[in-house]
Amino acid sequence: MVSTAWTRKRQPHWKRLEQLIGVASGGLTKLNHGELREFGLLYRQTAADLSTVLEDSSSAQLAHYLNDLLGRGHNLLYMGQRPRLSGIIDFYAAVYPAVFRQTLPLTALATAIFFVSATVGWVVTASDPAFAHRVLGPQMMVSIEQHEMWTHSVVAMKPVAASQITTNNLSVAFAACAGGITILGSLWLMIFNGLMLGVVGAATYAAGMALPLWSFVAPHGVLELPAIFIAGGAGFEITRGLLFPGLLPRRASLAQAGGRAVRLMLGTLPLLLIAGTIEGFFSASATPVVMKFALAAVLFSCLCVYLFGRWSTTGSGPSRADTH
């Protein structure tokens, strides 16, 4: 267990490293030779201190502080380096899954808010069918009442539709992430999108169109929806950094939270690109329903293995997720 005496003894070293990071905010060239040597020594010592702190489950806040401190130091060490293919592979293979798991409670919160809103939308629509008319508009309701899907334009213009779908999904994801700075923005987007899905689901179920709807949504939705939830979690991470800075100054806390949010967003880009392509070329096609659900099951299983599989932790630890 980390003792108070040990923490008090090590704290001046951490504060000194924080000072050097502040001085070198524009690059390590701002430090003289002696300060550079001191920076390197303090960085290594702090990394060792973090390893000690991580062994004590009751020191989570201190571990978070040291993790952020090392992340800022790491960014200075590698500032200006040209990106390499191996770095991109390492990010998607190890860093991104680690950041995802680190912020998993916030992604879970975004997911819960979405599905609670969807449930509310379903229940309200089931009890008051007129609610669907007010929310969805007459054009879509006429299509549902005539037992017709509204995806004909997707089938007719597959490449254009895929591009438009991907662009729209990216816009929603970026809005969900950036909305965290407004505190309520990400929350509102999760509520609104969940409510809309619930209303559409209830309206199509009442019209006997549940199977066409979900067989359309499933192939791309198993990637698109998790990506939106992760983006919402990224927005909540920004809000957390703004409202609950912990031991860090609020500006530094927001900067670190923003860094994690950006990494989360970078990780969702391939998911949204793949989802948009599937929606544009496959989801609305005449492919048998069984094959659509089978593809959805395979894609969702692959996503879970990627994000939670033990292989993705190789070479990455609690500190690594915050130091890229």
DSSP string, 50-93: HHHHHT-GGGHHHHHHHHHHHHHHHHHHTTTPPP-HHHHHHIII
DSSP string, 87-147: HHHHIIIIIHHHHHHHTHHHHHHHHHHHHHHHHHHHHHHHH-THHHHHHH-HHHHHHHHTT
pLDDT at 190 over 70: yes
- For residue 313, the model assigns a pLDDT of 43
Tell me the one-letter amino acid at 304: C
Q: What is the mean pLDDT of residues 66-71?
A: 84
Q: How far apart are CA 136 and CA 4, in angstroms?
A: 59
- What is the band of 191 on the pLDDT scale with cuts at 50, 70, 90? very high
- For residue 226, the model assigns a pLDDT of 96
pLDDT in tens, 219-268: 999 999 999 999 999 999 999 998 988 877 888 888 888 888 999 999 99
Record the tokens describing residue 189, joined without a space.
Answer: 């987007």
- For residue 203, the model assigns a pLDDT of 92
pLDDT at 301 over 60: yes
More confident call, 29 vs 323: 29
Q: How far apart are CA 31 and CA 21, in angstroms?
A: 9
- For residue 76, the model assigns a pLDDT of 77
Q: What is the mean pLDDT of residues 173-202?
A: 91
More confident call, 39 vs 315: 39
- For residue 324, the model assigns a pLDDT of 40
Instruction: Tell me which residue of 37, 12, 32, 20 sits closest to 76, measured CA to CA.
Output: 20
More confident call, 319 vs 109: 109
pLDDT at 3 over 60: yes
What sign does the dihedral 238-240-242-246 (CA atoms) show? negative
Terminal alpha carbon distance of the chain: 29
- For residue 81, the model assigns a pLDDT of 54
Chain position carrying tokens 């609670």: 116
- For residue 162, the model assigns a pLDDT of 56
pLDDT at 217 over 70: yes
Q: How far apart are CA 140 and CA 132, in angstroms?
A: 10
- For residue 151, the model assigns a pLDDT of 62
| 319 close to 70: Cβ distance less than 8 angstroms | yes
pLDDT at 171 over 60: yes
Q: How far apart are CA 107 and CA 294, in angstroms?
A: 26
Residues with Cβ within 8 Å of 164's Cβ and at least 6 positions away in sequence, in order, are: none
**Whole-structure pTM value:** 0.70
- State the greatest distance between any 2 C-alpha atoms of the chain, in Å, as a whole number: 78
- What is the band of 66 on the pLDDT scale with cuts at 50, 70, 90? confident
**Average pLDDT value for the chain:** 84
pLDDT at 271 over 80: yes
CA distances from 65 to 12, 38, 71, 221, 223 (A): 14, 20, 10, 37, 33
pLDDT at 318 over 50: no
Q: How far apart are CA 189 and CA 232, in angstroms?
A: 8
- For residue 72, the model assigns a pLDDT of 83
| 240 close to 246: Cβ distance less than 8 angstroms | no
pLDDT in tens, 90-116: 888 888 998 999 999 999 999 999 999
Q: How far apart are CA 126 and CA 205, in angstroms?
A: 9
Record the tokens describing residue 259, joined without a space.
Answer: 């860094």
- What is the band of 79 on the pLDDT scale with cuts at 50, 70, 90? low
Q: What is the mean pLDDT of residues 48-74?
A: 82
Q: How far apart are CA 52 and CA 46, in angstroms?
A: 10
- What is the band of 312 on the pLDDT scale with cuts at 50, 70, 90? very low
Tell me the one-letter amino acid at 273: L
pLDDT at 128 over 80: yes
Record the tokens describing residue 146, joined without a space.
Answer: 């005539």
Gyration radius of the chain over CA positions: 24
pLDDT in tens, 20-49: 888 887 677 788 888 888 888 898 888 888
- What is the band of 323 on the pLDDT scale with cuts at 50, 70, 90? very low
Q: How far apart are CA 65 and CA 249, in angstroms?
A: 11
